[in-house]
Structure 1
């Protein structure tokens, strides 16, 4: 493990030896009113725009203007198959086979579509287990699924809670819940990386536990995709969903990804919502044929792809492919370890990092809890040129991401925090 040093010169030294440092120039960095780069640590909420995004979208606008409907087949990047241009790199990022991955819809919509297939309650097995501090949208979604199937959304929801006085969920407690209630639980649905604490859950361990008790298991990997090594195929999870606008830099509200394990690829008996884009590609345009299910994750599509949003995703994925996702993970680990070293070096008893300290149990996000702080601390950081994310009651979420953040960014942020405190 690297032994870090304090001081600005050491941060500059780390940047000089960073093989990914030049990728920062491929992104638009927000600036203050004087034209200076802001320190942007909010990629866990919205990633920055790659400079190539405009040209990728312009290409599709030009083809639309030039070709009209013929752009579906005659465009430089034919729209008919556009989602397929994203599959290989996306599958590599989430650790899946190509046939297990598709980009479609928005995040919570995909979560519902997956639950249509993988939440199949019975009178004796109908409950859903989630982590207690799941992202609100996940909680709202599973509660609505319970109500949709005629169950009480409080009685049917089982929460995996952190122990009193602790922030992180404990696997022994999850085992206890499943040993006690496993025969009542139809679905285990966990956020792959918890949005608040930054805890990266052991997907394989959770999947094995769920499957041992006959539960379906899925993950919302919104804070994991592009941030950690999800290894979805080997995790054995039945499904997963994620967004692309955080660590995958595809633009606000952009499309979602979905994973369906290959063991379900050819199961046409799985309940699901369908549309013409999940129909056999060879006969899709005969229009009057009976529905013929596509195999694999593509078989969960409904509509033809929204090209302009997918163009933005493709632009970002091409940057990721050039950088190499494993290289990004390695730099991310060093950035965050260095960040942790500097925060701990403040020796301030009012500061506590609630994110796990082990690099394998987190991504790039550090959640910094500041005793007796309120949002005014976050506001002062913003005024000092640091863009972070405040979460009530007392946590600042900071995410130095490897493609556009530097070690000097980390050093400068901690110096500004020290001065404010």
Structure 2
């Protein structure tokens, strides 16, 4: 972030922000004083779009009036509802429409993809992931290894930072992939690590994995709606993401799946099958013998989750109206850079407080993870009392995520001011 932008008054930046009006499209929770809070927890659960209620209500109305005929009559057409999400989802993650489908929930989709893309043999059985991955990913991979009769301790290789560092270096990931070589079956990494906020170089990791004959996939829970993604061009094999964080589609919302087009016409691929993944042209003949749909749609199991998808559809429309991820990313870098400046300007030693998220904007989204070595929980509670909603992660990390759709530059300055007051008070007490 430039020094000029960092020093420009927040009021001016908000007044000239082309995305400022989108803040009014969301319900902002009230803080302790009854005024709207500064919400910095979109990396855990995004805010509710005002359009969400009407979107769900429309489907309630169709259910009420039409019953089962809602599958076939306007305005719902539930039979093909998931198709209405395809184009926007493809643009969101940089994919071809054939390569994406919205279905299920994130960990369910991760398991479905691993069934197809983790196919260990006697010699090629290793699966590589980042150490400290989100627990659900760890549990999924452990159980997948066990299903193949493998010991997770032998099959799973975890990447860890160098001593004294908090994040992984791309060259170290490449080196580990090359070292594993022909023993590596699959690489599965979070596009953005939930704890540190590090964004990984997915194109480079994909190339390295393919060079040794491994499949490469990503859990994009903290990347979809946060980073500008180009999954097709990066040659990623598979990916999945949730929609309730940066995509603001409600708690427990639906999930997205990407499968590269090279697998689009591979009915021979091992997969778990369900009737909604069956060829739609003959699906209702109700015959035995699974014939998968082309593309990612062939991994579907059941018909669409209409109510979560209705909310997601409304949220995707906001992303599209805002100009897509390119526009959101520009503001994201400005907000995150300004927040970083506030924290660095505190002038605190790293023995007291440090940002463990990479300083390079290309290696992070809109999350900064702040490691507080002393009185971390006290600081978190202080922020909450100031109407600032952040996220606490044990043992001593506060995650702050300025989301471009609804956070303002004034919000960022509120955080900066609260941090300055807290440490000033602590300094006065200790002096």
Normalising by structure 1, we get a TM-score of 0.97
CA distance in structure 2 between the partners assigned to 1:162 and 1:368 by the alignment: 17
**Partner of residue 340, structure 1:** 340
**Partner of residue 357, structure 2:** 355
- For residues 360-387 of structure 1, give each alpha carbon's deviation from its aligned partner in whole angstroms, at most 9, with x where no partner exists: 1111001111222332221221122110
SS of residue paired to 1:67: helix
Q: For 1:388, which of 387, 390, 409 is the aligned residue?
A: 390
CA distance in structure 2 between the partners assigned to 1:402 and 1:374 by the alignment: 26
SS of residue paired to 1:116: helix
**Partner of residue 41, structure 2:** 42
CA distance in structure 1 between the partners assigned to 2:151 and 2:53 by the alignment: 47
Deviates more, 1:352-361 or 1:55-64: 352-361
TM-superposed CA distance for 1:209, in Å, is 0.5
**Partner of residue 60, structure 1:** 59
- For residues 39-60 of structure 1, give each alpha carbon's deviation from its aligned partner in whole angstroms, at most 9, with x where no partner exists: 1000000000000100000000
Alpha-carbon RMSD: 1.3
Contact 1:67 1:75 (C-alpha < 8 Å) held by counterparts: no
CA distance in structure 2 between the partners assigned to 1:377 and 1:336 by the alignment: 20
**Partner of residue 416, structure 1:** 418
CA distance in structure 2 between the partners assigned to 1:238 and 1:398 by the alignment: 31
CA distance in structure 2 between the partners assigned to 1:170 and 1:290 by the alignment: 47
CA distance in structure 2 between the partners assigned to 1:5 and 1:320 by the alignment: 25
CA distance in structure 1 between the partners assigned to 2:266 and 2:246 by the alignment: 32
The runs of 5 or more residues in structure 1 that have no matched partner are none
CA distance in structure 2 between the partners assigned to 1:176 and 1:286 by the alignment: 51
SS of residue paired to 2:49: coil
SS of residue paired to 2:3: coil
Contact 2:31 2:386 (C-alpha < 8 Å) held by counterparts: no
**Partner of residue 196, structure 1:** 195
Contact 1:227 1:247 (C-alpha < 8 Å) held by counterparts: yes
Contact 1:101 1:258 (C-alpha < 8 Å) held by counterparts: yes
CA distance in structure 1 between the partners assigned to 2:28 and 2:376 by the alignment: 27
Normalising by structure 2, we get a TM-score of 0.95
SS of residue paired to 1:18: coil
Spell out the pairing of 1:293-308 with structure 2 (5 A cutoff).
293-308=292-307
Contact 1:388 1:396 (C-alpha < 8 Å) held by counterparts: yes
2:130 is equivalent to residue 99 of structure 1: no
CA distance in structure 2 between the partners assigned to 1:364 and 1:184 by the alignment: 36
Contact 1:283 1:289 (C-alpha < 8 Å) held by counterparts: no
TM-superposed CA distance for 1:409, in Å, is 0.1
CA distance in structure 1 between the partners assigned to 2:412 and 2:392 by the alignment: 17
CA distance in structure 2 between the partners assigned to 1:81 and 1:331 by the alignment: 35
- For residues 72-114 of structure 1, give each alpha carbon's deviation from its aligned partner in whole angstroms, at most 9, with x where no partner exists: 0113021000001111111111111111000001101100000
**Partner of residue 409, structure 2:** 407
Deviates more, 1:207-216 or 1:27-36: 27-36
TM-superposed CA distance for 1:353, in Å, is 1.1
TM-superposed CA distance for 1:6, in Å, is 6.3
TM-superposed CA distance for 1:2, in Å, is 2.8
2:157 is equivalent to residue 158 of structure 1: yes
**Partner of residue 239, structure 1:** 238
CA distance in structure 2 between the partners assigned to 1:160 and 1:6 by the alignment: 35
CA distance in structure 2 between the partners assigned to 1:239 and 1:214 by the alignment: 15
